[in-house]
Amino acid sequence: MTAFRRYGLALLVAAAISFVAIPAAKAEVGVTDDKILFGSFQDMSGPAAYLGKMCSLILNTWKQHVNEDLGGIHGRKIDTVIEDNKYDPVLTKGAFTKLVDQHKVFALTAVYGSTPCQAILEDIDKVKIPVFTTAATSQTMFDPPHRYLFHYANSNRDGSIVLVDFIINDLKAKDAKFGICYQDDEYGKDGVAGLELAAKKYGFKFAQAGYKRGEKNLNPQAMKLKAAGVTHCLFVGFAPVYAAFLAEANKMGWKPIFFGDYVTVDPRTFMAGDLPNGHYHCFDLGLRSEGVPGWKKMEEIFTKHNAKEALEWPLAPVMWTPLMMLTKALQDCGKDLTREKLVDTLQNIKDFDTGGLGKIQFGPDLRKGSHVYRVLKCDAEKKLFVPVTDWREPSLVWGKR
């Protein structure tokens, strides 16, 4: 009830402000009588070009879905403009300036990349432009929270804690020797930090081996973890590298139980044949193979708009769910759309129904959207990932939220 009242109050205040301060004719930046303009930067030709391709496809499908299937939002059509940032911080800064000052977009959506997003962190605060959402994994994206920046992605720190909880409480592993192989950057080190927290809680020591992004020869890392006698090995990195790591471990006859992070929940993990079979993964999204309503709806929409390719990507909901939530928020905002109102609306949406795609929840001081996880088991024969636990929160809470 209080939430409802606060929401109503915020609406009232926002409406009052917009009524008093802004003449009716002058609308918010990027919002015209018949159009709302959203911007995004995507890596179209750099190291994350695969992500860029998928995300622009999803973004485009969202535009078509809203405009054609829903008939727009309060009489306005959605338009999007995408700048290529090549995953490069300077180009991102340029792309941001171009989107804000030249295209005059209303808000940014569906962006990712730690270094690119960090480069514009300050500008977002200065311009006061909503960014909904970024999938950049860096902790600085939501801790401390920035009013205009919303983060929705699996946190590897949470992931490591969830996995250790699972190993100790569900698998009831005796004399487990923990180890972690991680991509040596912000993204991978987050996983190590989670393991450190869990190690402190449960009182164990662990072995670690990092590799540089782009490295292909994981022989020294696997050797090191094998020499340390690791029996439960976490892996934080991309699916093809995970496959290479499994092959390397197999080659040297090292047979621990592996625990992949959320991006290893990917068809490319099966590049290692039946090696990933029976090993575990941590994931925060619903699975297509479960046939949840959210995925059913995605299948319908993406098939209709010739974007079936995106359905092969298990991580697609990480971009799609926020876009659905954004659609709802835009509808809730009513005709007088402003940036401030959108941010307030977004942070006050409670229990958004994703149709089983995974929880997404923000709050007035909460900019981390992802909270609950499941542990999946890999079935290499059917090329599937099967949940073996219910949705659960990590047993440790860290950082300012």
For residue 148, CA distances in Å to 7, 141, 365, 367 come to 17, 10, 11, 9
Write the CB contacts of 29 (distance below 8 Å, at least 6 apart in sequence): 104, 105, 106, 339
Pairing of strands 178-183, 206-211: parallel
- Residues in the chain, how many? 401
Nearer to other proteins among residue 61 and residue 345 (C-beta):
61
Instruction: Give min distance, CB of 142 to other proteins, in A.
Output: 14
Instruction: Give min distance, CB of 236 to other proteins, in A.
Output: 12
Instruction: Give min distance, CB of 41 to other proteins, in A.
Output: 10
Give 206's DSSP letter.
E
Q: Beta-carbon neighbour count of residue 347 at 10 Å?
A: 20
Nearer to other proteins among residue 239 and residue 325 (C-beta):
239
Strand extents, DSSP E, 212-274: 232-236, 257-260
Is the backbone peptide bond immediately before 144 cis, with ω within 30 degrees of 0? yes
Alpha-carbon dihedral 183, 205, 169, 151, rounded to 10 degrees = -30
Nearer to other proteins among residue 160 and residue 354 (C-beta):
160
Nearer to other proteins among residue 124 and residue 326 (C-beta):
124
Summarize as ranges the residues that interact with other proteins (CB under 8 A): 43-47, 49-50, 52-53, 56-57, 60, 81-84, 86, 88-91, 93-94, 97-98, 100-102, 114-115, 118-119, 121-122, 138, 140, 184-186, 189, 209-212, 214-217, 219-221, 223-224, 227, 239-240, 243-244, 247, 250-253, 268, 271, 273
d(CA 335, CA 31): 10
Nearer to other proteins among residue 88 and residue 158 (C-beta):
88
d(CA 59, CA 38): 10
Instruction: Give min distance, CB of 39 to other proteins, in A.
Output: 11
Q: Which two tokens stand for residue 137?
A: 């994994």
Alpha-carbon dihedral 351, 354, 357, 362, rounded to 10 degrees = -40
Instruction: Give min distance, CB of 59 to other proteins, in A.
Output: 10
Instruction: Give min distance, CB of 237 to other proteins, in A.
Output: 11
d(CA 77, CA 70): 10
Instruction: Give min distance, CB of 250 to other proteins, in A.
Output: 7
Nearer to other proteins among residue 39 and residue 130 (C-beta):
39
Which residues sit opposite 107 in a β-bridge? 38
DSSP assignment of 119-154 equals HTHHHHHHHT--EEEE----GGGTSS--TTEEE-S-
The gap from C-alpha 335 to its chain's centroid, in whole angstroms, comes to: 29
d(CA 117, CA 138): 9
d(CA 120, CA 88): 12
Contact 91, 120 (CB under 8 A): no
Instruction: Give min distance, CB of 317 to other proteins, in A.
Output: 19
Nearer to other proteins among residue 275 and residue 375 (C-beta):
275
Nearer to other proteins among residue 224 and residue 328 (C-beta):
224
Instruction: Give min distance, CB of 389 to other proteins, in A.
Output: 29
Nearer to other proteins among residue 182 and residue 373 (C-beta):
182
